[in-house]
Structures are given as structure tokens and as C-alpha cells.
Amino acid sequence: MHGQLAAGSEEVTWRLITGDTAEEVADLGKLAIEAALDGDDFSSYVTETGTFPAPTELSAGRGHTYYPRTRAIWCCLWLSCTGTWAWETAVIESLGSGKWR
């Protein structure tokens, strides 16, 4: 997974929510966001998490690469920040590992 923040952004937390269908991932994502807004624990919905650091003057526009290790046919990338931020790009690549059953 490769992500890039714009200059002047604060650090952004990323989370992956995975599932067997697009509908399941959308439902789990909604439940996770609602739990977060209510101040409840949402960790059971999240498969992987990390942080894109705030860019410095020298690193603005440069991407950061992460290698989350998770298995699923569908995923949702949930981005959040408590401050001001601007997102430039995200690329997620996957590798097939056999037939989905």
C-alpha cells in the first residue's frame, strides 16, 4: 500500500477493514466509524492499521509504503485525522493466493 499526503497535512491514520463481499465491508466500515464517533471500541472491525506521518518541508509530496499482511477478497481503506489534512493518492496492490471459496 502506497499513500501520499499533501504539504501542510498532519499525520493521518489508516485502517483496513476486510470482508468476503463489498456489502459486508461497507457495513463493517459504517459500524466501525459509528463506534469511533461514539467513543466505543472499534478494533474488532479493523484488520490492519498504521499512520502516514505528517510531511516535512523536504518530504512533502513523497509517498510512504506499508506492507499490511491480511487476507480478504474485499477491503476498505479508512483514513482519519484529528487535524487538517489533504490526501493526494493511494495505491493498494494485491497478490492472488489461490481460489476464493
Question: For 45-89, how does the pLDDT look when each residue is reduced to its tens digit (9 = 90+)?
Answer: 999 999 988 876 656 566 788 888 888 889 999 999 999 998 888
Q: How many CB atoms lie within 10 A of CB 49?
A: 13
What pLDDT, on a 0 to 100 scale, did the predictor assign at position 71?
Answer: 82
The proportion of the chain whose per-residue pLDDT surpasses 90, expressed as a percent, equals: 50
- Supply 66's cell numbers: 506499508
Q: How many CB atoms lie within 10 A of CB 35?
A: 15
What pLDDT, on a 0 to 100 scale, did the predictor assign at position 47?
Answer: 94
Q: How far apart are CA 51 and CA 90, in angstroms?
A: 13
